[in-house]
């Protein structure tokens, strides 16, 4: 690791996954350390990232309802995923114990 990447802390997110906070070239990022299925990965400008749906699932447990509503509505408006696609992903076994998945499922059911 070069001096452009500085680890500034470790933690556990609301889903129970280990995280690492990094200062990167004047900004900060949080890296989540866990195995993610290839179906939840996409490539943007040559960089592997989680899909919009997986990102919302990962963040849902830490967002207030207004933030969650804004993120979901933006994704739906941009057709990044549909409500039906979200329920299919949320119903997979690896989401059963994930707090973010339960939060998003409850939110989508009340829409």
Mean pLDDT of 43-68: 95
17 vs 5 pLDDT, higher one: 17
Q: What is the pLDDT of residue 60?
A: 97
The DSSP result for the chain, as a single string, is: --TTEEEEEEEE-TTS-EEEEEEETTEEEEEE-S---GGGEEEETTEEEE-HHHHHHHHHTTS-HHHHHHHHHHHHHTTS--HHHHHHHHTSGGGTT-HHHHHHHHHHHH-
In this predicted structure, the answer to whether residue 50 has a pLDDT above a threshold of 60 is yes
Q: What is the pLDDT of residue 67?
A: 97
Regarding pTM above 0.95, the answer is no
């Amino acid at each position: 690791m070069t001096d452009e990447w500085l680890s500034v802390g470790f933690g556990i997110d609301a889903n129970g996954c280990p995280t690492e906070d990094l200062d990167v070239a004047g900004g900060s990022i949080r890296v989540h350390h866990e195995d993610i299925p290839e179906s939840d990965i996409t490539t943007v400008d040559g960089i592997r990232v989680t899909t919009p749906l997986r990102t919302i699932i990962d963040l849902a447990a830490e967002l207030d309802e207004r933030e969650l509503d804004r993120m979901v509505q933006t994704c739906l408006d941009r057709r990044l995923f549909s409500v039906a696609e979200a329920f299919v992903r949320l119903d997979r076994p690896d989401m059963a114990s994930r707090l973010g998945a339960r939060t998003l499922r409850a939110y989508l059911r009340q829409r």
